[in-house]
Chains A and B, each alone.
Chain A
Amino acid sequence: MAARNRAKLPYLLVLPAVALLALFVVAPGVYALVLSFQARKVTGGLLGGGSKLVFVGLDNYGLALADPELWSSIARMVLVALLFIPATVGFALLFALLLDVPRVKLARSSRLAIFLPYAVPGVIASLMWGFMYLPATSPIGGDHIDFFGASTVFFSVANVAVWGSVGFNMIVIFTALRALPSELYEAARIDGCSELRMALRIKVPLVLPAIAMCTLFTALASLQLFNEPNTLRPLSNAVSSTWVPLMKIYEDAFVNSDVNKAAATSVLFVIAALAVSFVASRTVSRVNR
């Protein structure tokens, strides 16, 4: 009896996760793939007035890739990512190293304060910063600084994203720092090594895996950029309805009702995201070695 149960239980325990995986990851993925190869064509004569889905091969992919709006949305996303990734990882590393310096005051409360934005939804963060940017309500000089200018808007969007993600990455790097053996520091201190040298020569190389993981997470987050620009949009004309790729996909699917083109773009997007993940995780494991 027990032996039979033992053979069955692991399957039962895995079942809910596998069922959810099949229903909400695999099935939508396959469905999107099918849609991406189809298009709605009008059928019948003047009175027939119907339409049906027909197989069109790679037509939707061609249409999606030929759309200049998609490419400008990708360019904007890359611009924000170039600001967002180094700033997030750089500040997270800086704060983690500072927290690890002996005899720093207020370390606990600073750590908590910097981690706190993690609990604030991206949309809410964008609302808060949006009002901070808005000239009429800005407490940080919105009358003098145009936060929604042609080039400043990239900084404004990146800033909201950095604000929301520095804390989590800081904790990841800080925990890795804390896991290092303390004898390492004692020896270096006896040799007269300064805290700064110790940070740069000993700590940073040893937490490189954590830094690499943060870079991967941040890179994936920038691919998924949607909440921040989408929320800032009602406050400013600087953000268009197709500002980043996900907004473009949303616009195609729900505003232009071209679900098939949106599906093709989504598939391309998933392939790109998986490629980024794959390359990045290969790099991470190489750094780990």
Chain B
Amino acid sequence: MTVPTTSGRIRLLPTAALILGAIYCIVPTLWILIASTKSKTDLFSTATYLPSFSAGIWHNIVDLSTYQNGIFWHWMLNSFGYALIGGVAASLVSAACGYAIALYEFRGRKVVFNVILACVLLPQIVLAIPQYLLLSNVGLTDSYLGVLLPQLFNPYGIYLCRIYAASSVPQSLLEAGRIDGASEWKLFHSVGLRLMGPGLITVFLLQFIAIWNNFLLPFVMVNSDDKFPLTVGLYSLLRHGAAEASLYSLVITGTLLSVLPVIALFLSLQRYWRLDLVTGALK
């Protein structure tokens, strides 16, 4: 085999290494796809890496959809609800706070910002149990609000919004608006928010994924299974499955169905991921 020595040749070794990495990352999803085509009995009896073509996947989806009156789809809806409402609300809170800190001089500005910065390093997850104990005193546990409210404060989002507001909203534009007689509120929502748009989408996506992926907070906060997000729901299904192996194929199918929509969402929104913003925060 002759490898051309010109500068146009493909770099074989780096390409191969990257492909290996990509395969490692895709294989579990691919295997879940194969496993969910198998019926309860095939799952343990057929070659594990070969799909089954006996319409097992359809039966599995039907089984899953009828399990406890379709509670799986309820979990799916809950997850989307938590992530969508929480993501939008948290982004707005972050945008308002970041914008104010970046563009106004006011008393307490430094203190607020430093406290928020410290919270970035504070593991939110250890707060879950104290949050539960506190919310149980006001009767907010086992409610949708109990899962939503603690996730609206996103110190990292505020930090990113501050950086983004400082770099994308010029003071001179606000001054011009002021001379034209625009109110500060109007400047915020029609100039500030608009200019911060692209960065806000990233903040929203980060928060959406964070809430979608969250397990410990809803696991601690919610007891009734009709309020579970997918993560807690599938975990509880797996726990029942430990006693009853026939539930394994339901767990596998549920896992597939829960992964596919986020992957689709993720791929379709990939051009909105402004990850340079995340790294820009380093400088």
Contacts and interface: CB of A to CB of B under 8 A. Distances in A.
Contacts of A104: 10-11, 14-15, 18
Interface stretch (A57-65, A66-74, A112-120, A150-158): A112-120
Interface string A188-210: 00000001000000000000011
Interface in B251-283: 251-252, 255, 258-259, 262-263, 265-267, 270, 275-276, 278-279, 282
Contact of B25 (A6, A99, A114, A175): A114
Given A171-B275, A259-B133, A121 B127 contact: no
Nearest to A143: B48
B231 interface: yes
Contacts of B53: none
A13 B99 contact: yes
B35 A105 contact: no
Given A104-B11, A117-B25, A163-B25, A269 B126 contact: yes
Given A6-B184, A121-B231, A123-B234, A28 B213 contact: no
B43 interface: yes
Contact residues of B: prevailing secondary structure:
helix
Contacts, number: 275
A120 B259 contact: yes
Nearest to A223: B123
A18 B123 contact: no
B31 interface: yes
A28 B133 contact: yes
Contacts of B183: 2, 5
A217 to B, nearest CB: 10
Contact of B127 (A14, A28, A129): A28
B130 A234 contact: no
B122 interface: yes
A16 interface: yes
Interface in A109-139: 109-110, 112-114, 116-125, 127-132, 136-139
Interface residues of A, number: 99
A129 B10 CA distance: 34
Interface stretch (B55-63, B64-72, B146-154): B146-154
Given A32-B130, A175-B279, A273-B126, A122 B101 contact: no
B21 A114 contact: yes
Given A104-B18, A125-B28, A210-B282, 13 more contacts: A13-B99, A18-B97, A105-B11, A109-B22, A110-B18, A113-B22, A124-B230, A136-B44, A137-B48, A175-B279, A226-B216, A266-B130, A281-B121
Interface of B: 7-11, 14-15, 17-19, 21-26, 28-29, 31-32, 34-35, 43-44, 48-49, 93-94, 96-97, 99-101, 104, 106, 109, 112, 115-116, 119, 121-123, 125-127, 129-131, 133-134, 149-150, 152-153, 158, 178, 181, 183-185, 188, 209, 212-216, 220, 230-232, 234-235, 238-239, 241-242, 248, 251-252, 255, 258-259, 262-263, 265-267, 270, 275-276, 278-279, 282
15 contacts: A2-B178, A6-B184, A11-B100, A16-B97, A17-B97, A20-B153, A104-B10, A110-B18, A113-B25, A122-B213, A167-B25, A209-B282, A259-B133, A273-B126, A281-B121
